[in-house]
Amino acid sequence: MSKSLKEIIFTLIYLYSGAFSVKFLHYLLLFTFLSASQLPASEINYSKIVLDDIEITEGWVREVPQGNPNTAGYLKIKNSRKEEIKLINVKAEFAEMSEFHLMKQEYGIMKMTPLKDGVLIPASSTVSLEPGGMHIMFMKLNTSLKLSEKHIIHLTFENIGDISISMIVKKISSTNFHTKD
């Protein structure tokens, strides 16, 4: 079992201590099996984390050329609760700074704006952080990110706490770093 997989399992156990359920154990076993598989990156099912009525899926980080100080990360968050939730912080060991950003067009020019208040996920909805829109900006990288590597990302939700997810490094296939592939 890889070191990062052990970290994920211990983090999950810590987060869920005292609140084990059959559903949680099912997802933990499924995640362990998928993470330990030797499938090529294109065939790996992205990790899926479910905490109560919050589901986080399809997490990935863009590969960057050697020496590039920044990259972006993407994922989907499904909120099945009857009230909105807010994602207020993100951390990754491979970056000195991590922020939520929004790409938007103003007067014909694409601009990237930090989302200082975090990301709001309305009740009974799914929010996608994706190229060309909202995303996670990882800045001042302290290591190179290699294709198919997995990295642990720590997400903090207001009034809920921390959730860690494994995100895989994928190749950039578009010519513009912040457009949809």
Q: Which domains does the chain have, with CATH numbers?
A: 47-170 (2.60.40.1890)
To 5 degrees, how large is the angle CA 108–CA 113–CA 114? 170
Contact 102, 71 (CB under 8 A): no
Alpha-carbon gap, residue 155 to 42, rounded angstroms: 25
Q: Going residue by residue through the chain (181 aa), what tens digit of pLDDT does each one get?
A: 455 555 555 555 544 554 444 444 444 443 443 343 333 333 444 578 888 899 999 999 999 888 889 999 999 999 999 999 999 999 999 999 999 999 998 898 989 999 999 999 999 999 999 999 999 999 999 998 999 999 999 999 999 999 999 999 998 765 445 555 5
Q: Which amino acid is at 175?
A: T
pTM here?
0.71
At which residue do the structure tokens 């009230």 appear? Answer: 83
Is residue 1 helix, strand or coil? Answer: coil
Contact 44, 149 (CB under 8 A): no
Task: For residue 71, give the nearest of 43, 50, 46, 90 by alpha carbon.
Answer: 90
Alpha-carbon gap, residue 164 to 152, rounded angstroms: 6
